[in-house]
Amino acid sequence: MQNFTFANPTKIIFGKAVVAKLGPAAAEAGKKALLVYGGGSIKKNGVYDVLTESLRKNGVGIAEHPGVKPNPVLSHVRAGIAKARKEGCDLVVAAGGGSVIDEAKAIAAGALFSGDVWDFFCGKAQVREALPLFTALTLPATGSEMNCGCVVTNEATAQKFSAQGPAMYPRVSALDPETTLTLPREQVANGAVDSLAHIIEGYFTASDTDAAVTDEIVHALARSVVSSTLRILEDPADYNARASMMWSATLALNGLASCGYGRMNFINHAVEHSLSAIYDIAHGAGLAIVMPAWFRHHLETDGPARLESFGRAVFGVKTADRTIKALEAFFRKAGAPVRLKEAGIPAKDIPEIAENAMQLIRLWGMKHEQPEIEKILKKAK
Ligand code: NZQ
Ligand code: ZN
């Protein structure tokens, strides 16, 4: 087990009717909020009304920045920064899924930065400060509600890059599982795949695989994501399954599921970001295509040991091959695409996708070359 530092300052308020608690919390941080949200789901499920009433009742003014698109884009981030400055906002409130929270983080950091916000994403500048951020999460998937990373697409260059920095941890995140009852089935699938991807990246790429406590956290979270998702697919109104899924997805990428693993990498994510950047497909859908292919590659390069332990603990199967099949069957059952062609992506594009992925692979300091990435993608044909 390798040395590690674990620190996570985000306060989580979890359960029914907790969104109304964001007003009092935000009032302690400032007087005017930039309210960031997406295409309108929060107006349909009641989150918008509860949140704006809670902010106003507690004396927090609101300037709205709606229209964040899934796979948020740089131009909209820049517009949000300009609005936050013009309106004199001293805090940011995000309501929605990972895209909304990520864009809110970029705005919160960009509003206090004199340079270009994209510099944070291409490694030219560090995030040193950000406006205080509060979130109401409505889609369990990314873990953005309790981590300090954000992902934005530069639509002019087709680069989907990430920025990090402790200043971007949300101060408080409200997680009400009832707000997820309105999720379309497709987003339930995307969330399940993404949270599983967060759990497995460290587990399978760890430089130190003797960290039993973290392995057991990974196994438990993966079992919980799989069983909660199957319950949700069976009965979308199952509150306890929604609650278990929501907390599992948060814990999957808040730092807990990789403690002691030492050096690790996010290879599935690096490849997927290129699928989202080029074809604008959902992150979860892209991961469902990349992961089974990468697992088959991992079996060839690293052998069956890790896949066997994971499969035994999560799916009750004995071999590496059956583990990969069980994972793929779960993705299919949830309704996610598991091959490039199922998402309408032609195999002839593989070199272009791999070339795009190499940018992030280099930026993240990973030791992979383009031929290897093409080989992985060919297994997803
Ligand atoms: O825009 P609205 O109207 O809100 O609709 C959204 C959107 O269309 C809808 N939705 C959200 N909550 C809903 C709902 N619809 C009905 N009921 C609800 N309760 O769902 C759609 C997808 O939302 P989005 O936020 O894009 O999904 P997700 O949470 O999966 O976020 C994906 C983004 O996060 C990034 C991804 O790359 C992608 O850009 N990631 C962020 C990470 C992080 N910050 O740590 C890590 C991840 O690996 C990931 O890269
Ligand atoms: Zn992810």
Half-sphere exposure of 207 (CA within 13 A, CB side): 8
**Residue 184 CB contacts under 8 Å (≥ 6 apart), including other chains:** none
Mutate which of 142, 178, 290 for ligand 1? The one with the most ligand atoms within 8 Å of its CB, which is 142
For ligand 2, the distance from its centroid to the CA atom of residue 142, given in whole angstroms, is: 5
Contact 94, 108 (CB under 8 A): no
Q: Quote the pLDDT of residue 272.
A: 97
- For the record, the structure tokens of 268 come out as 């599935």
pLDDT 10s digits, 96-146: 999 999 999 999 999 999 999 999 999 999 999 999 999 999 999 999 999
Cα distance between residue 141 and residue 139, in whole Å: 6
Q: Coil, helix or strand for 264?
A: coil
**Which residue segments constitute the domains of the chain, with CATH numbers given?**
11-178 (3.40.50.1970), 183-378 (1.20.1090.10)
- For the record, the structure tokens of 187 come out as 């987003």
For residue 284, the ligand 1 atom closest to its alpha carbon is 30
Strands 172-175 and 133-137: parallel
Q: Quote the pLDDT of residue 283.
A: 97
**242 in ligand 1 pocket by Cβ < 6 Å?**
no
Q: Determine which residue's CA is closest to atom 21 belonging to ligand 1.
A: 70
For ligand 1, the distance from its centroid to the CA atom of residue 216, given in whole angstroms, is: 28
For ligand 2, the distance from its centroid to the CA atom of residue 116, given in whole angstroms, is: 25
User: How many CB atoms neighbour CB 79 within 10 A?
Assistant: 14
| Alpha carbon distances (Å) from 282 to 62, 139, 145, 164 | 30, 13, 18, 21
**Which one of the ligands is nearest to 143 CA?**
1
For residue 187, the ligand 1 atom closest to its alpha carbon is 20
Q: Quote the pLDDT of residue 355.
A: 97
Which string of DSSP letters, residue by residue, matches 48-64? HHHHHHHHHHTT-EEEE
**144 in ligand 1 pocket by Cβ < 6 Å?**
yes
| Alpha carbon distances (Å) from 19 to 14, 40, 250, 338 | 9, 17, 16, 35
For ligand 2, the distance from its centroid to the CA atom of residue 24, given in whole angstroms, is: 31
For the whole prediction, is pTM greater than 0.95? Answer: yes
Contact 47, 18 (CB under 8 A): no
Cα distance between residue 249 and residue 235, in whole Å: 19
Q: Quote the pLDDT of residue 148.
A: 98
Q: Quote the pLDDT of residue 267.
A: 97
Q: Quote the pLDDT of residue 119.
A: 98
For ligand 2, the distance from its centroid to the CA atom of residue 198, given in whole angstroms, is: 6
pLDDT 10s digits, 231-258: 999 999 999 999 999 999 999 999 999 9
For ligand 2, the distance from its centroid to the CA atom of residue 141, given in whole angstroms, is: 7
Q: Determine which residue's CA is closest to atom 43 belonging to ligand 1.
A: 144
For ligand 1, the distance from its centroid to the CA atom of residue 139, given in whole angstroms, is: 6
Q: Quote the pLDDT of residue 43.
A: 97
Q: Determine which residue's CA is closest to atom 47 belonging to ligand 1.
A: 142
**164 in ligand 1 pocket by Cβ < 6 Å?**
no
Per-residue pLDDT of the chain (381 residues), as tens digits, is 999 999 999 999 999 999 999 999 999 999 999 999 999 999 999 999 999 999 999 999 999 999 999 999 999 999 999 999 999 999 999 999 999 999 999 999 999 999 999 999 999 999 999 999 999 999 999 999 999 999 999 999 999 999 999 999 999 999 999 999 999 999 999 999 999 999 999 999 999 999 999 999 999 999 999 999 999 999 999 999 999 999 999 999 999 999 999 999 999 999 999 999 999 999 999 999 999 999 999 999 999 999 999 999 999 999 999 999 999 999 999 999 999 999 999 999 999 999 999 999 999 999 999 999 999 999 999
Q: Quote the pLDDT of residue 354.
A: 97
Provide the residue type at 103 as one letter.
E
Q: Quote the pLDDT of residue 366.
A: 94
Supply the angle between the helices 320-334 and 185-205 in degrees, to the nearest 10: 160
**356 in ligand 1 pocket by Cβ < 6 Å?**
no
Q: Determine which residue's CA is closest to atom 45 belonging to ligand 1.
A: 144
